[in-house]
Copies of this chain bind each other. A is one copy, B any other.
């Protein structure tokens, strides 16, 4: 059966893509304070777009930092309410010189749209708005009640969202939370993600002498902060790729044999990943496959490292400072604070003589895990099959949407992660893009899901 919204979406496709481009042109980089005004512009753009789609009670709600965009439509025959969460902020764009077209000048080539935020997450937020609009335009009403909550600080760890949700429980009350910010398995293979890794992050600053020194006069006689930092960082992993921090794995829920079997049946092509990334081999914790490592195992990664001379040529300096940025991806039931404590203790225990080390904690978010036999997930599988004509996989994911766990906990709702991005679409990297095939099928999936939920029972 062809639904009416299908025709509407086909007819307005070019117009929708142009509209999405205007959204992607706003450089809403939450990590950099110079983009403060752009954050506001992006939020205001959403307000206008939601109103135009037919949503009601559309408003910018202030937080301690970037505003949250709220909207709803609550006139459905069904008593079920769907809360859609997404984010309008994006990652920084450096190194800029590696982008083929500028990150904030969206460009469609080869049926993909290239821009920062195209897939993570502005593009997918936009799809939910257009799906609602298509249903309202063609059917005059929605099959279930709907609420939108779109934030502007996901890429910096959602520091203000959890207090916001706690303070607005009634406003946000719903029966299911739907989030599109996770990838499909691969092209043509949609997936529903039932687990996300958590996150915690910190900065290490190592201080030696009071100023930079001549490496001839002092070299060999005074501790070099770059050596100390290298030694601390090297001590964080064992040779087999495991994190060497005491207690790091204590609360990790082990993979079940059933899950390992299900992942094996996905026939994930590690060779293709190697080729795509142009590496001679994949590398990680011994005893786990690539999928298991990235979906179900915690990590500790250095995200940045700097100190001393970085210019052209040689400078024989013994620098006064060295710096590193670290983050951990966490899995159930690791607690961010426990891990930060353990890593910080390890750093202090492994600091060589002659330097002073400070650790500054930055982001944190708990890991998330859902029972995959839940009715709202089974309904999502039906919706996907309609749009993609293939059964979606049940997967977990390596990335973090720190608020998912908090949202679910605070509102006491099940969460469905229904993402349409593809791995290799360069989230967080130069040349981020989004395949338009999943723009089209994703819109159909969302519409079908809202209809499906109207006759699903749970709670």
Binding site for B on A (CB under 8 A): 31-33, 91-92, 94-95, 98, 156-157, 183, 197, 199, 201, 208-224, 226-227, 229-231, 233-235, 237, 273, 277-285, 290, 293-294, 297-299, 301-319, 322-325, 327, 329, 352-356, 362-363, 397-400, 423, 426-431
Contact = CB atoms under 8 A, between A and B. Distances in A.
Nearest to A208: B279
Given A31-B314, A214-B427, A226-B305, 6 more contacts: A212-B430, A220-B284, A220-B329, A222-B283, A304-B307, A305-B307
A124 to B, nearest CB: 15
B317 A211 contact: no
Given A32-B311, A222-B282, A308-B325, A234 B237 contact: no
Given A305-B230, A308-B325, A220 B293 contact: yes
A361 to B, nearest CB: 11
A364 to B, nearest CB: 10
A211 B429 CA distance: 7
A294 to B, nearest CB: 4
B307 A428 contact: no
23 contacts: A31-B312, A32-B311, A95-B212, A98-B211, A157-B314, A209-B279, A212-B429, A213-B429, A218-B277, A220-B293, A221-B293, A221-B294, A221-B398, A222-B277, A223-B279, A224-B302, A226-B233, A227-B234, A283-B352, A301-B318, A304-B317, A305-B308, A316-B327
Contacts of A327: 215, 314, 316
A156 B313 contact: yes
Nearest to A323: B310
A319 B304 CA distance: 8
A398 B304 contact: no
A315 B92 contact: yes
